[in-house]
Amino acid sequence: MTTQTDHFEISTLVSRFFRALDERNLVGDGARAYVTDDVRSVTPVGAADGAEAMAHAQEALGRYARTQHIASDVLVDVEPDSGRATASWNALMTHVHHEATLRRRGADADPLFTVGGRWEAELRREREGWRISRMSVRAVWTTGQPPELA
């Protein structure tokens, strides 16, 4: 049974995590406010665990000048006896390409790469509150060109 408090806390965590993505505040102590030390992350560019997962996210976001991640329709299911929960939400993820990327692509280059996706997460209640222990994102649709990979 999910209480209103659990739903509020987890929804707020999702919103704060997305803000941290856009502010590039995912390494070291910055990540501890959102994820467990053993977090597992699965994205279209690969899977990683722990601090490496957050470093990969930070690196991926660095491929853009700016980003804006918007979460909506957060659904939460809590297992009260275990201190675990699952959550899923829709996301609109807008990525603004660097000027150098746009120059290489030419005058008609779209400055945006936009993704509509769905996130799935497992969470654990820790001493400090709810934290994401597993997360994955799946693109449902995209517009524009993805980033240039090294």
**Residue 134: which of 11, 41, 7, 23 has the closest Cα?**
41
pLDDT at 1: 63
How are beta strands 84-97 and 64-79 bridged, if at all?
antiparallel
- pTM given for the model: 0.92
Domains of the chain, each with CATH number or no CATH: 4-143 (3.10.450.50)
The CA-atom distances, in angstroms, between 112 and each of 66, 68, 90, 107, 149 are 10, 11, 19, 14, 16
Counting every residue written for the chain, the total comes to 150
Q: Residue 64: which of 23, 96, 103, 93 has the closest Cα?
A: 96
Which residues of the chain fall below pLDDT 50? none
